[in-house]
Structure 1
Amino acid sequence: MDFDFSPVWQGWRELAHGALVTVEITVGAIILGCLVGLAVGLGRLDPKRRLVYAACTAYVGFIRGTPLLVQLFIWFFGLPHFGINLPAFFCGVVGMGMYSGAYVSEIVRGAIQSIDRGQMEAARSLGMPYRVAMREIVIPQAAIRMIPPLGNEFIALIKNSSLVSLLTIADLMHEGQKIISTSYRSLEVYLAIALIYFVLTNLTGLALRGAERRLAAGGLA
């Protein structure tokens, strides 16, 4: 088999632009996912708050029980039926962010519950309000325990971002498919796309491992 990577070299600007869009979408989704995940994770800590607990549990159950692609299609193709037309980029970020938030919430909840309950009880016995004790004592210790599973979630999100190409977003996969449509060199282009995703995921992993080391050195472990 003859390989011809000339279409890849000729289309490197398009691939670079697509990689940038992929990073932008992923970063936006990560930020939204962390915010939603933190709120939902905290909401699922206390079953006594029945309404909040039930709503958070229903959200997690629905998001984790349905494919990401279907959720993206609901945002992009479903909402217009109700007169809500959102930009494709916005649908990609929100759809992926809400999807990630369900998994992040379980990471947050598990990390917080892994902290010795005696620390919260000691803080409360000293007159510290629950929210202050959670913010100043429990969450800082739980943060370092969240990093490894969060790293896996962020890496999975980078790879899942390839699905937004189906919303006509000019991400890495979409730009690669445009090159294939004119060059018919699918194998070479997909190999280049795979290499770019490999670099992005490994850079993310390195950054998270560095953050984990800095937190551990700061005495949060």
Structure 2
Amino acid sequence: MDVLLAEDDLETAGFVADGLRVLGHNVTHATTGDAALKAATDGSFDAVILDRMLPGIEGLEVLRELRARSNRVPVLVLTALGGISDRVDGLDAGADDYLVKPFAMVELAARLNALARRSSAADAVTRFEVGDIVLDLLRREVTRAGRPVLLQPREFALLEQLMRHAGRIVTRAMFLERVWGFHFDPQTNIVESHLSRLRTKLREGFADDPIETIRGSGYRIRVDG
């Protein structure tokens, strides 16, 4: 696996890079946000390990800029900021996973492997069409009846999960794990608020809501449009 490590603390960077190289991974090290953004943009990496508190461009700004450029490289945020709001901010910015320092190298390696598997599985299908809605993973575009629908990264990811499971119920727990990377319930309305914005955007100019709320169970996209 080719990994970009964006970490300004040289001791931490050395520990992580040495551990990953022992496991057979190739590691490119960047010490600033500017260098990390350039490397991630110019290079081809299987994953990025991104510290939040980088000199220059802050880590989450690097992440937001990558997602704005439709760069879908899996990103694991590695940081000392471990509060619930910090995790939510990181995942909302486009992170695929979030690991708090101090950490065990074996867990970091396992999370990277999980991201790689998830990315490989997601790449198998690049276009979904349900009813009059089309989602293109490569172009990061959504249309409804041919009209473009502009979505934020988390809204796009929510719709992707609904379309991957077309005709089936997607639970709140599934959204939390697959869109935000939470393996627990943070006791916030993060899913509901993002779904509300997604539904508003999909309904603009249309009479019907393509997303059904299945009371007590979850949500489902209408397969008949």
Higher helix share: 1
TM-score, normalised to structure 2's length? Answer: 0.27
**Which has the higher relative contact order, 1 or 2, with Cα contacts under 8 A spaced 6 or more apart?**
1
**TM-score normalized by the length of structure 1:** 0.27
Q: Which structure would you say has the larger Rg?
A: 1
Whose strand proportion is higher, 1 or 2?
2
